Amino acid sequence: MGIAQLLRQEGREEGHEEGRKSECMALINRQLRRKLGLQPTLEQLLSKLPALSLETLEDLADALLDFQELNDLQAWLDEHGG
C-alpha cells in the first residue's frame, strides 16, 4: 500500500471516529436535557463534553440512565475528567 493510500485510510478512520463522537454527544445532550430539564448549569456542564474521548462519552451515555439530578452529572464529570 502506498503512502497516499495510507493517508487516505487514516483520514477516513479519523473522520469516522469524529462522526461517532459527534453523534454520541448529540444523543447525550438530548437525553440529559430531557431527563434533567433545561437549566443554565446543565448547559455549562454540556459544554465540557467535546473534551471527552469517545470511550468516555459512551460510558457517560450508559451512566446517565441512573442520574436523578444535575449533581449526579457533575459528580460523574468530576470523576471522569470532564
Residue-wise pLDDT for 10-54, tens only, equals: 877 777 789 999 999 999 999 999 999 988 999 999 999 999 999
Compute the radius of gyration of the chain from its Cα atoms: 16
pLDDT value at residue 60: 98
pTM more than 0.75? yes
Distance CA 74, CA 82 (A): 9
Q: Which residues contact 20 (CB under 8 A, 6 or more apart)?
A: 54
36: nearest Cα among 5, 77, 65, 11: 65
Tell me the mean pLDDT in the region 53-72. Answer: 97
pLDDT value at residue 52: 97
Cα 50 to Cα 8, 31, 53, 56, 68, distances in angstroms: 25, 16, 8, 11, 23
